[in-house]
Amino acid sequence: MSIIIPANSAISGGYEVTNSVMFEQADDPYFQKTPTGDGNQRTFTFSVWLKMDLHDSGDTHKIFDTGSSTNYFTIYFTTEPFLVVKGRVSSSNVLELIPSQGFRDPTAWFHLYVAVDTTQGTAANRCKIYINGSQVTSFGTATYPNQNTDFEIQDASYPFRLGADKSLGDEHYDGYMAEYMFVDGAVQDIGDFGEFDEDSPAIWKPKDISAINVNPADNNGNGFYLDFKDASNLGNDVGVNAGTDFSENNIVATDQSTDTCTNNFSTFNPLDVPEVGEKPTLSIGNLQGVSTNGGQIAGISTIGISSGKWYAEFKAAAGNSGSSASNLLAGIISAPTSTLGAASPHDSTQWYGARGDGTKYTATTAASSWGGTWAIGDIIGLGIDLDNNYLYISKNGQWSDGSGNYDEANPNAYVTLASGQTYFVLVGDASGALNVTWQANFGYPSFAISSGNADPNGYGSFEFPTEGFYAINTKNLAEYG
């Protein structure tokens, strides 16, 4: 299981990546662009930062795809999941590299670099893969092309697809992408895309790539650089000497995110699942969780917090008819859910929070008439003050008064927390009959909001933030965590 805690969270200094784009697989999202002419089919470079959702067995998730059924070039993730770089010519897989390492961490960003140059005399130099700045040398499958092989990668007859397969089947990418570049006609050095520096020698950091010529060998405009900064045109190609933009397909302005490789925001963690009961179903970039009849946890955060003041908000988007909103739960837990020993968090001695019936919980101790009732559609805010060990709870921007109402403009009544703990946000329900859908906003909202207020550091976009509390992300964690 992977979680992020203060000790391993900080990436500070250097170039800042401000935006990414979120792909929700169920929406069939992808970018498409048709080459304006035949580019270099022997030499080219890919670079992209990725934060993947946890992939189910048998799923295929395309990063890049182009060509026909008999001649193509593709990059994707498949079962385990493993990375696959494949090129087919005349129905034969002349290039197929599958690194031995798996990619199972949906909590972290990583950098993928693929360079192809079939003019090289040494077979192993004709395709190189780097992950986070380190060359991959161990492969489960390693087939290299013959010298001077031409791939069907820049043929005007076949569009580039980012996030979908060439036939638009059920192989869409699921997760986040940032800083996506393709260089036509050159092997761009790995050091042009990132660096290890003296402040963090073990952490691969992105560099500013805006000055790289994406079409150094010709002017066909097939090279591209997508920075995803323009929400109204997320397919905007800003590369030097670039051609036309990509079209967005089932990708909209609200899919733009500030969760990036230089500021990783919390999401729900699909790796942290309870030992008792069923695991929740996550979607929308791991920002939506649905509890099950056999397990009442809808989601737990990827980032743990142990000091400072933090804010997140959650919307109870839907619930079945089996129970009422009085069973909704929102709060924090002082340990991963795998140690709960109970299907419902409010049965645990490690959970602190409130319930939709107006009660609060302090390590399973319920107090009646604490904060009023909730309804499906309410936005529940959590103000987590770990400097004083208090948890404040709001409904639609009004904070609990501790006497049965949500009617305070500022945090007032609180749940007292145990000191010296690392806490994770956890939402769910208290009934085995209720399947509730919780949508999270750790700074990148998974539900529609009207205000879009940032935290005091300028991070995040919240409906009802409160003064002095911060979004749960690695930039803030490095300073306050």
Residue-level pLDDT at 322: 46
Assigned token pair, 424: 């994770």
Between 200 and 332, whose confidence is greater? 332
Beta bridge partners of 305: 423
Between 217 and 23, whose confidence is greater? 23
Contact 334, 421 (CB under 8 A): yes
Render pLDDT for 347-380 as a digit per residue (tens, 0 to 9). Answer: 777 889 999 999 999 877 888 889 999 999 999 9
Q: What torsion, rounded to 10 degrees, do the Cα atoms 153, 49, 138, 147 define?
A: 20
Residue 270 has pLDDT above 80, yes or no: yes
Measured CA to CA, the distance from residue 342 to residue 339 in angstroms comes to: 9
Is 281-480 assigned to CATH 2.60.120.920? yes
Beta bridge partners of 312: 382
Q: Which of 382, 371, 393 is nearest to 470 (CA)?
A: 382
Average pLDDT across the chain, whole number: 89
Measured CA to CA, the distance from residue 243 to residue 222 in angstroms comes to: 7
Q: Give φ, ψ of 216 to 5 degrees.
A: -70, -20
Residue 11 has pLDDT above 60, yes or no: no
Mention every residue, 6+ apart, whose C-beta is less than 8 A from residue 318: 376, 436, 437
Q: Output the pTM of the full model.
A: 0.93
Q: What one-character DSSP code corresponds to residue 286?
A: T
Residue-level pLDDT at 349: 75
Intrachain domains 17-257 and 281-480 with the same fold: yes
Q: What are the residue ranges spanned by the domains of the chain?
A: 17-257, 281-480
Query: What is the sign, positive or negative, of the torsion defined by CA atoms of 406, 407, 411, 412?
Result: negative
Render pLDDT for 402-419 as a digit per residue (tens, 0 to 9). Answer: 999 999 999 999 999 999
Render pLDDT for 112-147 as a digit per residue (tens, 0 to 9). Answer: 999 999 999 999 999 999 999 999 999 999 999 999
DSSP labels, 77-97: EETTTEEEEEEEETTEEEEEE
Assigned token pair, 347: 């049965």
Residue 6 has pLDDT above 50, yes or no: no
Residue 480 has pLDDT above 90, yes or no: no
Measured CA to CA, the distance from residue 339 to residue 273 in angstroms comes to: 9
Contact 10, 477 (CB under 8 A): yes
Q: Which of 194, 185, 178, 148 is nearest to 261 (CA)?
A: 178
- 283-286 long-range contacts (CB < 8 A, ≥24 apart) are 283/24, 283/25, 283/26, 283/53, 284/22, 284/24, 284/439, 284/446, 285/22, 285/23, 285/24, 285/53, 285/175, 285/176, 285/257, 285/259, 285/444, 285/446, 286/53, 286/54, 286/106
Residue-level pLDDT at 323: 54
Of all residues in the chain, what percent carry a pLDDT higher than 70? 91
Specify the 3-state DSSP secondary structure of 204: strand
Task: Indicate the residue type of 113.
Answer: Y
Residue 321 has pLDDT above 60, yes or no: no
Q: What one-character DSSP code corresponds to residue 423?
A: B
Q: Given pLDDT bands bounded at 50, 70 and 90, which one contains residue 343?
A: low
Across 9-13, 84-88, 112-116, 318-322, least confident range: 9-13
Name which CATH class applies to 17-257: mainly beta
The pLDDT of 294-321, averaged and rounded, is 87
Strands 365-367, 200-206: pairing is unpaired
Specify the 3-state DSSP secondary structure of 323: coil
Residue-level pLDDT at 341: 62
Q: Given pLDDT bands bounded at 50, 70 and 90, which one contains residue 317?
A: confident
Render pLDDT for 34-71 as a digit per residue (tens, 0 to 9). Answer: 988 778 899 999 999 999 987 665 688 999 999 998 99
Contact 350, 329 (CB under 8 A): no
Q: Which of 475, 311, 281 is nearest to 390 (CA)?
A: 311
